[in-house]
Amino acid sequence: MSERNPLPLIITAICSTLGSVLVLWFYGYLHIAKPEDSLLLAEFTMYKTQPGEDYKVALKPATQVAQCIDGVLVLFDTEQKGLSGVLVDNRKQAVRCVGEEVPQQIQ
């Protein structure tokens, strides 16, 4: 029994894998995320409110507006047009919301 040379099989497997990845990327089925794709829009802190206790907030509102879309809280920035994102906690879990509204143009 003669032994086969495994080199052509290894080269074929590597080329097939690379070719598949390139075709998937070219047609948009594969997206390689970059760090700038998930920029931190702003830092947020939640104040726990209890009946009878006062808390202080600034009179000037934040530059972000939140809307409930498909059960997820989505933030829109009013200063940078087109900048939006999903509000997540420190474990990258999306913050859910109750009730859905149709997005309206921010003035």
* Better pLDDT: 11 or 90: 11
Give residue-wise pLDDT tens across range 38-87.
656 667 777 777 888 887 888 888 888 888 888 888 888 888 777 778 88
* Better pLDDT: 3 or 9: 9
Give residue-wise pLDDT tens across range 28-41.
888 777 766 665 66
Query: Which residues does residue 72 pair with via DSSP β-bridges, in sequence order?
Result: 69, 96
The DSSP call for residue 29 is S
Q: Dihedrals φ, ψ of 97, to 5°? A: -140, 160
H-assigned helices in 1-107: 7-26
CA of residue 24 relative to chain centroid, distance:
21
CA of residue 96 relative to chain centroid, distance:
14
